[in-house]
Amino acid sequence: MGGLDQEHIITLFGARFCAAYPKVAQTEGGLVNDPVDRGGITKYGVSLRFLIHEGQIDVDGDGIADFDLDMDGDIDAADIRALQPIDAMYLFQRCFWNRLDCESFPRPLGEAMFDQGVNGGNVAAKKLLQRAINQILARFWNYHDRPAILRVDGVVGDLTRAALDWCLKLPAAGMVKLMDAYREEAATRYRAIVARDPAQRRFLDGWLRRARELGR
């Protein structure tokens, strides 16, 4: 992976991210150019649409976008083909793991949110969390200290954090209940995508399998 050994990769990216990333990378796969995929040509889960948006950074200050890998002045399909595994790893950490603040969530919730951020976007991953929490809150409506049902807005603020903490303290494995609800909400989101766009139906079995495996 870019000439780095595993020890240096863990030092660079952090142990928890390095443990979570391979499963997502395996699910995303290698080079795919599917005309039904709205993101365009994709490699290691990095779509052309995503790379055009996120790859314009110039960390080294050389005047060339860091992900204009062939240095021809634009980011296009050739740059997707030139991507290396460590490029995808860097993008996934910067754009999903860090922006979702996955380290701040307990295992395996942070890992599940990372997966869904990669697959559906960070706002979707956070809305799934809020919907999963609301499932639990509705189920335990008669608990006197139960927080109010959350507004599903994709903003993980103090109210969402407090409700999450409450759910995790429930007797008989609050995390288990929450993860079951998160998987269910992910599956519901996938079914809704297909309902809106039947052309996506051929992806549904794989998506539902992905939902079932979240956090496992």
Tell me the pLDDT tens digit for each residue of 90-100. 999 999 999 99
The dihedrals phi and psi of 46, each to the nearest 5 degrees, come to: -95, 110
Domain boundaries, the chain: 6-97, 105-212
pLDDT in tens, 76-87: 999 999 999 999
Continuous segment of H or E residues that includes residue 186: helix 174-196
**Residues in the chain, pLDDT under 50:** 1-2
Given this model, what pLDDT does residue 40 score? 86
Q: How many residues does the chain have?
A: 216
The residues pairing with 47 across neighbouring beta strands, listed in sequence order, are 42
**DSSP character string of 8-58:** HHHHHH-HHHHHHHHHHHHHH-S-B--TT-TT-SEETTEEHHHHHHHTT--
